[in-house]
Amino acid sequence: MLKVFPIFFLFLQFTQLLQADPEATNMSLKMVRVLVYGGRGALGNAIVEHFKEKNCTVVSVDLAGNDHADDNIALDLKQDWAQQEAAVLSKIDGTFDGIFCVAGGWAGGNAASDEMVKNADLMWKQSVWSSAIAARIAAKHLKEGGFLQLTGAAPALDGTPGMIGYGMAKAAVQQLTKSLAASGGGLPKNSSVVALLPVTLDTPMNRKWMPDADFGTWTPLSWIAEHLYDWTTSETNRPASGTLLKITTSGGVTNTENH
């Protein structure tokens, strides 16, 4: 009897855990698998690290590998849009619970700027190419009921005269989000797509270029990573599919507004 008791005790503990919080327990027993498009950037790396801390399997897509990810897919800048799509898709198998596209960048310029078209082309490649390819990955590899996240920008809800190319690209991502969420958008059954629209993220590069800014108005990367995990593992906690989620931070407190 003494040899049987420890086994019975462990079984009893496990049964009590299931009864206490079955949804959380089911998610802990299931291996969550996600893909981070832009996994080498500041936000992408924060997401990769957070999901790894939660014992998830993470695939990173970027120009260079992320040492924390389980697998890496390298992008080739010499390829055009369709070639990049084909190359990425050829290296992916299996399904994902979540796909996050956080690739992007920033460049300014108005219509009088000599660099306007050059910068607009760069913004399109960094934000729209990546978002469209992420959508294609989701159409083929996102699980039913899965979660796709794209990255827009709060300023792109209005005119962006000082950064026209950036605003054009982010507005396109936001339109893509609405189209994917609509009936016939091509995503798997019961899946959700949401675009995050931050104002300013608290990244090392932003701190370098804006050292005198009020960092209490910048959204922490950890806030994004934690909420992506929550929305991936709990369908009931997600914003409605198609939401453009404006994210603002003031006094160190982050709030959201649906669009």
pLDDT at position 183:
97
Cα 27 to Cα 21, 138, 188, 193, distances in angstroms = 10, 21, 20, 20
Give dist(CA 144, CA 23) in Å, integer. 17
pLDDT at position 26:
53
Give dist(CA 200, CA 208) in Å, integer. 13
Phi and psi at residue 76, in whole multiples of 5°? -115, 110
Long-range CB contacts for residues 25-31, cutoff 8 Å, separation at least 24: 27/233, 27/234, 31/55, 31/56, 31/57
- State the catalytic residues: 166
Q: Which of the residues in the chain have pLDDT under 50? A: 1-15, 17-18, 20-21, 23-25
Hey, what are 193's tokens?
């797509």
**pTM for this prediction:** 0.89
Fill in the DSSP letter of residue 127.
I
**Alpha-carbon radius of gyration of the chain:** 20
Rounded to 10 deg, the angle between the 116-123 and 164-181 helix axes is: 30
Q: What is the pLDDT of residues 25-72, one digit of tens each?
A: 455 556 999 999 999 999 999 999 999 999 999 999 999 999 999 999
